Structure 1
């Protein structure tokens, strides 16, 4: 949201509440401020286009014009009517604030690393795998990947934020599609198809899997920042589970869920979906070693010997299973994910990082606690566990940035996450980059030092004792 957008809302609402609350706000004051607001609205529409979120603001300005006109008359005899007018203006102000809860064009944090960022999208069909989510026996699994990578600085078109703009479904996850109408104008801080940076011949690769029912787009702030630190991040969308995915033939895939009646906790369903996602990740690893798979820009610039898998929520569980089953993956990280199936029982053969939101705010489930505790007890190459205070489960995503500042403040008071996505993502990527430096760069990354740079980030080297302590502490907090 621009400064102009915010100023229009705050001044209009403040003036309306002042005019509704007291008669001391004179007609001249209202007229002068209204004139300035009307000019600002015309400038806004001219520069940025029409936003439906501002319909209530325009109605509020009209109400203020009427109120100012009535105050220029002699004192009205119909005091009840005047009182109703002030109540109407106050009500419009409240509606305007509510409509402004979702900002038209969210602003993502700028990447903090030394490299500019480029982005390119790849859409493949895995002819060896049937698409089990659809009824078409000839349908094969689509794999959609967006590469975020260190790029040569320069000018160019910005990378598109999300698939399906202009044809979004009614809801994208739980977010009304109407709210995302102007998300095509989001600055992702990445240039589409930019030349790859030349500081290294080949760049280490990080696979990323999003949360259940989430789009890869929801993590653009985190992924662009990680790429600016010298990693090629390959972020997947998992078709028919992600809210909207453009397939290789141009069709838009939306969620298809096939829950089993004898699986009330959906543990078998989630285990099966986790296996599908892990297969998607392994397919992308195959492409890294395949000549020309990533086009002329990236194909020769990816290091097939230096690959890690990470993910958020269900994506973290999928990254864990992929790392357990594919020896080409050299490290894995789970951001706040509940583990299912083999991910919660098999040994982890590579270095592992568990990065968690605040247990007091997210209230992790028993399955989450027990699964990750079991994994910590089966680490074969060591690992780390860190918790980010005042971050909730959604703080790793861009989604809180879809809300205005006041709306984020109110939501944090209800469900936590007062650290916010900007601070949470900065802490996450500092810890992630330090952790990945060892297996992907043969460097000694100081994970503890990276964590210490951020107040409230606690943890350390994983151990059986620490995992048991985490479970015990969480159980006591619930009593």
Structure 2
């Protein structure tokens, strides 16, 4: 996951300087200065930290009316070689499907991260956040979804929303938005882009880590991105193909058992896509390339060519953190001017680029427990609860409007309920 101040050791896939350049190209949007503030630890939490017990964090509960179920699936595209692992004759992905559920009592609550992925995250990614291995019990964080719960068919056929994470990021760090949309009546599919993501755990405990090449020059960066973006879009198009199979009841042979009620539950005539950072550009390109996708949203990501120049003709929402605007980010300006469909830009005051991860909810808890300074440079100065609530409200309102035809006033002008959000004319 690209933290702008990260440093890497040379025994991994790149030097610190090289990856810092990649991260800067992807995420270092202009940001307003923020005042660092401390979140004091309580005596109990300070004692826990001193005793060496790892911190456990909780995710905010979904706000929709329905319980949530989830299932993780391995999907294999045997018609495509892996672009980052040329020796592999196929491309394999891990995805999570989130959906409205019924009869959840007694079923296990799904973890945010599986054990193997959590261990790799603790080793390889947590240090980028200024955390030492073992300080946080990543595997202990629970979602609010029941693993394998039956689909609630009373919700009707479910519009489908695809999610693509940021550069190197795992799908699991966007659980807060995914399960909230599911609780509101959507089938949400979060996708790991294997060998770009820092860690992906497959069935049986096999963990695949990033195989990104060493990048030393801007030309090498451009070449890398020209490989990654088409690969991401191809991943999402393949997932859409497989969702059609799932809806017919013909799921992957080696996958986990499919939840009861899934067959016939997916409405693939209503499809949306969104993503954070590079995932936002992926969603835009997918909306441009695939006629099955009806609407898309970008959470604070630079938009890459070709879609930065062509724009889209479908409804699209640009969500801005910090000072991101068409004036500050050229790709947003070109994308906006070329796009001919319904379009809005919404700036979330007081946020930063990583406010649109689960980190918005998690890091304040970690800081309080460990007595670390608050991470305003990473997740902004906005109240974390307000930030999460506003993100959920605007994302749901956008998809409700364009996938369900539900009128919303949120995009007409300032909202008294969410004064932190400003629509950019």
TM over 0.5: yes
Give the CA RMSD over aligned residues: 2.8
1:226-237 mapped onto 2 (5 Å cutoff): 226-237=181-192
Instruction: Pick one of 200, 212, 217 that aligns with 2:167.
Output: 212
Instruction: Pick one of 104, 107, 131 that aligns with 2:55.
Output: 104
Residues 177, 228 of structure 1: alpha-carbon distance in 2 compared, 3 angstrom cutoff: farther
Match of 1:168 in 2: 120
Question: Any conservation in 2 of the 1:259–1:266 contact (CA below 8 Å)?
Answer: no
Q: Matched residues in 2 for 1:260 and 1:185: separation?
A: 35
1:34-433 mapped onto 2 (5 Å cutoff): 54=49, 56-57=50-51, 104-136=55-87, 138-152=88-102, 154-155=104-105, 156-163=107-114, 164-165=116-117, 167-168=119-120, 170-172=123-125, 174-175=128-129, 178-179=133-134, 182-247=137-202, 250-259=205-214, 261=216, 263-264=218-219, 266-290=221-245, 291-294=248-251, 295-297=258-260, 298-359=262-323, 369-400=329-360, 401-402=362-363, 403-405=366-368, 410-414=373-377, 417-433=380-396
Instruction: Pick one of 45, 65, 73 that aligns with 1:9.
Output: 45
Residues 285, 456 of structure 1: alpha-carbon distance in 2 compared, 3 angstrom cutoff: same
Secondary structure in structure 2 of the residue aligned to 1:115: coil
Q: How much does 1:128 deviate?
A: 0.7
Secondary structure in structure 2 of the residue aligned to 1:430: helix
Q: How much does 1:323 deviate?
A: 0.8
Secondary structure in structure 2 of the residue aligned to 1:289: helix
Q: How much does 1:218 deviate?
A: 0.9
- Segments of 5+ residues of structure 2 without an aligned counterpart are 1-40, 252-257
Q: Which moved more, 1:414-423 or 1:386-395?
A: 414-423
Q: Matched residues in 2 for 1:241 and 1:285: separation?
A: 20
Question: Any conservation in 2 of the 1:427–1:451 contact (CA below 8 Å)?
Answer: no
Question: Any conservation in 2 of the 1:398–1:421 contact (CA below 8 Å)?
Answer: no
Q: How much does 1:196 deviate?
A: 1.3
Q: How much does 1:279 deviate?
A: 0.7
Q: How much does 1:396 deviate?
A: 1.2
Q: Which moved more, 1:117-126 or 1:445-454?
A: 445-454
Question: Any conservation in 1 of the 2:117–2:207 contact (CA below 8 Å)?
Answer: no
Match of 1:37 in 2: none
Secondary structure in structure 2 of the residue aligned to 1:433: helix
Deviations 1:247-303 (CA, angstroms, capped at 9, x unpaired):
367521101112455534723322321111111111111112222255353232111
Question: Any conservation in 1 of the 2:348–2:421 contact (CA below 8 Å)?
Answer: yes
Question: Any conservation in 2 of the 1:147–1:232 contact (CA below 8 Å)?
Answer: yes
Deviations 1:167-195 (CA, angstroms, capped at 9, x unpaired):
52621362568347632221211111111
Question: Any conservation in 2 of the 1:148–1:227 contact (CA below 8 Å)?
Answer: yes
Q: How much does 1:444 deviate?
A: 2.2
Question: Any conservation in 1 of the 2:350–2:380 contact (CA below 8 Å)?
Answer: yes
Q: How much does 1:307 deviate?
A: 0.4
Q: How much does 1:146 deviate?
A: 0.4
Number of residue pairs the alignment of both structures matches:
367
Question: Any conservation in 2 of the 1:124–1:144 contact (CA below 8 Å)?
Answer: yes
Deviations 1:285-334 (CA, angstroms, capped at 9, x unpaired):
11122222553532321111010010000111111111110000000000
Secondary structure in structure 2 of the residue aligned to 1:188: strand
Which gives a bigger RCO, structure 1 or 2 (Cα 8 Å, sep 6+)?
A: 2
Secondary structure in structure 1 of the residue aligned to 2:190: strand
Q: Matched residues in 2 for 1:335 and 1:260: separation?
A: 25
Q: Matched residues in 1 for 2:413 and 2:369: separation?
A: 31
Q: Matched residues in 1 for 2:208 and 2:409: separation?
A: 42
Question: Any conservation in 1 of the 2:149–2:259 contact (CA below 8 Å)?
Answer: no
Secondary structure in structure 2 of the residue aligned to 1:345: helix
Secondary structure in structure 2 of the residue aligned to 1:252: strand
More helix per residue: 1 or 2?
1
Question: Any conservation in 1 of the 2:119–2:139 contact (CA below 8 Å)?
Answer: no
